[in-house]
C-alpha cells in the first residue's frame, strides 16, 4: 500500500484526465488502469461550464479520488488562489502544486514553488509539488511542510522517459522515507518500469495514455508495467557485473579429453 498524507492507496498509478478523445474513453481508461487517484485541473472544470459539472460527476461516479492541480499557473499568488478555489470546488485539502517557470520546457519555477508550498502547507493543504530532480529544492519543499515529492523525469508531454537516471537515483537514496512520485515525461510502459525498479513509489501519467491509439489499453499496460517494476524492486534485483558469470555451475561437470 502507498501512504500519502496518512491515506492508504492500493494503486501506484495516478492518472491525468486531460486530452482524452471523449469522456467515455477517459472513463474506460480510468477503469482499466485500476487507478485510485485522478488529477483534475480547476481551469478545465471551470471552463467547461455545464459540461464541466457533468465531467466531475463522471469522475466521482468512477470512485476515484480527485487530486486537483494548479496547472497553468506562473506565479505564487496565482497558484495559491487557484489552490484555494480548487479546495472549495473539489472539497479536498489535496493539491498538486504546479508553478511553471519556463514556457518552452514547462520547467517548474522552483523558487516560487517553495514559497507557494510554504503558504499552502501553513493553511492546511496537503501539497503534492511538481518539481525537478534537484536535491536542494526537495529539501526546501520538505522544510516548507510537503510530505510527498513529485520530481519530473523529462519535460511535460515529451514522452522522452528518464533523462537523468543518476539524479533520480540520488533523490531516491537521499529521501528513503519520503513518498516519491515520478511526474511528467514518461512515454512508454518500459519507462515506468525503470523508475519503479529504482524504488520510486508511484507514477503520474497523462499524455502517454490520453495520446495513445487505444488509451484504455495503454492505461492497462502502464498499470501492469508499474506493478512489475515495483515487484522487481521488492524482490531484490541483481546489480550489473563487469564479468560474465556462468548460470550453470562448472564444478562437477564432465570433462572430455
Q: Where are the beta strands (DSSP E) in the chain?
A: 2-4, 7-9, 13-16, 37-41, 65-69, 94-97, 126-131, 150-151, 181-183, 202-205
Measuring CA to CA, how many Å separate 187 from each of 126, 128, 155, 160, 224?
Answer: 28, 21, 11, 6, 15
The yes-or-no answer on residue 31 being catalytic is no
Residue 45 backbone phi and psi in degrees, to 5: -65, -45
Residue positions in the annotated binding site for 1-deoxy-D-xylulose 5-phosphate?
A: 157, 184-185, 206-207
Residue positions in the annotated binding site?
A: 157, 184-185, 206-207
Q: Where are the beta strands (DSSP E) in 89-132?
A: 94-97, 126-131
- Encode burial over 61-81: b for 16+ CB neighbours within 10 A, e otherwise: eeebbbbbbbbebeebeebbe
Spatial distance between the Cα atoms of 13 and 229, rounded to a whole number of angstroms: 12
Here the cell at position 147 is: 510530505
Identify the active-site residue in 31, 84, 96, 224: 96
**CB-based contacts of 28, cutoff 8 Å, min separation 6:** 215, 216
Q: Which secondary-structure segment (H or E) carries 234?
A: helix 215-235
Catalytic residues: 96
Amino acid at each position: 500500500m502507498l501512504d500519502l498524507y496518512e491515506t492508504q492507496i492500493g494503486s501506484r498509478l495516478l492518472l491525468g484526465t486531460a486530452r482524452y478523445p471523449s469522456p467515455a474513453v477517459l472513463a474506460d481508461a480510468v477503469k482499466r488502469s485500476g487507478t485510485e487517484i485522478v488529477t483534475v485541473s480547476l481551469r478545465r472544470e471551470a471552463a467547461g461550464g455545464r459540461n464541466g459539472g457533468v465531467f466531475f460527476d463522471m469522475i466521482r461516479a468512477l470512485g476515484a479520488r480527485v487530486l486537483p492541480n494548479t496547472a497553468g499557473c506562473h506565479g505564487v499568488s496565482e497558484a495559491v488562489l487557484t489552490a484555494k478555489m480548487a479546495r472549495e470546488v473539489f472539497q479536498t485539502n489535496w493539491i498538486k502544486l504546479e508553478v511553471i517557470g519556463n514556457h518552452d520546457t514547462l520547467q517548474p519555477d522552483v523558487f516560487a514553488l517553495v514559497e507557494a508550498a510554504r503558504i499552502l502547507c501553513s493553511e492546511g493543504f496537503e501539497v503534492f509539488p511538481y518539481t525537478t530532480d534537484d536535491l536542494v529544492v526537495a529539501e526546501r519543499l520538505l522544510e516548507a511542510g510537503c510530505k510527498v515529492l513529485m520530481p519530473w523525469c523529462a519535460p511535460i508531454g515529451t514522452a522522452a522517459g528518464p533523462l537523468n537516471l543518476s539524479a533520480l537515483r540520488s533523490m531516491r537514496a537521499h529521501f528513503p522515507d519520503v513518498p516519491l512520485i515520478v511526474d511528467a515525461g514518461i512515454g512508454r510502459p518500459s519507462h515506468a518500469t525503470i523508475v519503479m525498479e529504482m524504488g520510486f513509489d508511484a507514477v503520474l501519467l497523462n499524455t502517454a495514455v490520453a495520446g495513445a491509439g487505444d488509451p484504455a489499453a495503454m492505461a492497462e499496460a502502464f498499470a501492469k508495467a508499474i506493478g512489475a517494476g515495483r515487484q522487481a524492486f521488492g524482490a531484490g534485483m541483481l546489480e550489473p557485473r563487469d564479468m560474465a558469470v556462468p548460470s550453470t555451475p562448472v564444478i562437477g561437470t564432465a570433462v572430455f579429453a
